[in-house]
Amino acid sequence: MSKGPITLGVEQGLAQTSPLNASEFADVVVEVENHQSDTVVTEVDPASLQSSLPLIVASQHEEKEVTLIELEPPDTGKALRESVRSDDQTTGFWRVLRVAFFPLWFPIQVVVQATVVCVLWVWNLLRLVFFAFIMMPGFLSSLYFYLFSRQIQKGIKYGDASRNRLDVYRPKTAPSDSEKFPVLIFVTGGAWVLGHRAWGMFFGQRLIRAGIVVVSLDYRNFPFARNMENICTDVNTGISWVLRNLEDFQGDPGQVFLMGQSAGGMLTALTMLRQAERIANTTEHDTQTPALGSTPGTWDPRSLKGYIGVSGVYDCEAEKRYLKEERWIYNRVFSLMCRVNSRDATTELSPLHVLQHVAMSTDGKLPQFLPRAALIMHGGLDRAVPFTIAESFHRGLEEAGVSSELKLYFKGHTEPMLQDSYKNYDKLIEDLARFIKDDPTMTFTYLNILPQRLLQIASWISPF
């Protein structure tokens, strides 16, 4: 008897056959065809087979006594050849066409795909131009505020790398005022390639009216940062600096919040979870926990009162699949960003997967190393980051035992930061301010710069 897969048949009656060694094969399936009834398939445990012992196989009408015998393997090649021959007869005409036009098929396919992509990019570029034109009065107003307002301290250096700088937005106070304000550490988005601390002016200009200090971090973008790991290093360094220097801008150490928008949501969530993992590992092996935040790049998430994510990319794998279907050129750039040391690190860079890993490694103690509450905010009309990613991250936080609240809005991707800055009413900014101030009844003053109908048109035409 040969080793490996064998073909088994059955011989009815009590005819004797050479014995089968059950150790030579596994998971045998005996197929018995009774020409006078239906086919019966019986699963046989190899350990139960004994040499030359007959098996009783049940059919629909009676029981048959059969013995296993080894058969010659069927000529599958013959059947395949016959199938191909038959197929050739029915599809010969189309096969000739395929052979004749094959040299032209690939270049035609490339040209068609390139044409479609170019048309889509031109269309989205035109939409972006019209969007910027409609929003220009509001942009100019915010730019004037950013350049000339005395409530902003710009370009404060927090690290040694290029673009390791931040801006601080402070509420209006008297020079002698000793009042402490809640602090929001803000990391902007920009698809990891366009982020700049100046984008913080849209949130900063509104939140300082509510008595909140906003610190907007800058970081190196791709490709200058080379990969996501270096961008995360910048974010860690910036957060650490802010936690050590809160008193310089009247910040209240007991009311510090971390917020990330879009790509910044991914960066803040990822760095926060990594710091929590580091602290958990430290306290597990050392009862004397070292002072955190004393050196650049290390900080304690327990120093935060809350975490806020706005339109964040919390699952890089899901975002990559979405981009592959919707925007396949940028998907290739995103894949390059997620490579660390010449390997694909998409999973390691996904906050959702890191959350699940850290929750398991800490035996359900993860909430002890994170802020007390999380607020996840996302637009249901988001065309850049699907809202299902926010839902998954919110569920992951809850399953890990973290107090999390999910709020979905009738908005696109850019509305929370751009269009909403100029509205006469915005539910999202009110929810954000009330979460930070811990005051569900507080009132909010709006800039109300652009007509509301114009903002609706801008939201409709926005490519994001």
H/E stretch holding 400 reads none
Cis omega (within 30 of 0) on the bond before 223? yes
Report the candidate in 168, 166, 147 with the shortest Cα–Cα distance to residue 156: 166
Instruction: Output the six-digit token pair for 447.
Output: 């800039």
Distance from C-alpha of 440 to C-alpha of 436, rounded to nearest angstrom: 10
Q: Rounding to the nearest 10 degrees, give the CA dihedral for residues 247, 258, 308, 378.
A: 120
CB atoms within 10 A of CB 319: 22
CB atoms within 10 A of CB 314: 29
Q: Could you give the count of Cα atoms lying within 13 Å of 379 in the half-sphere of its Cβ? A: 22
Instruction: Output the six-digit token pair for 378.
Output: 């996302």
Strands 165-169 and 40-44: unpaired
CB 330 within 8 A of CB 323: yes
- For residue 109, the 8-state DSSP code is H
Residue 267, helix vs strand vs coil:
helix
Distance from C-alpha of 230 to C-alpha of 77, rounded to nearest angstrom: 56
Distance from C-alpha of 321 to C-alpha of 149, rounded to nearest angstrom: 43
**Phi-psi region at 415: left, alpha or beta (left = phi > 0; alpha = psi -120 to 50):** alpha
From residue 377, give the alpha-carbon distance in Å to each of 232, 308, 392, 443: 22, 8, 12, 20
Report the candidate in 459, 463, 464 with the shortest Cα–Cα distance to residue 124: 463
Residue 88: partners with Cβ closer than 8 Å, 6 or more residues away = 95
- Catalytic residue set: 262, 382, 413
CB 196 within 8 A of CB 264: no
With vertex at residue 392, the alpha carbon angle to CA 391 and CA 394, rounded to the nearest 5 degrees, is 65
Residue 428: partners with Cβ closer than 8 Å, 6 or more residues away = 310, 377, 407, 409, 411, 416, 420
H/E stretch holding 337 reads helix 328-337
Instruction: Output the six-digit token pair for 44.
Output: 């046989």
Q: Using CB atoms within 10 A of its CB, is residue 335 exposed (0-12), middle (13-18) or buried (19+)?
A: middle
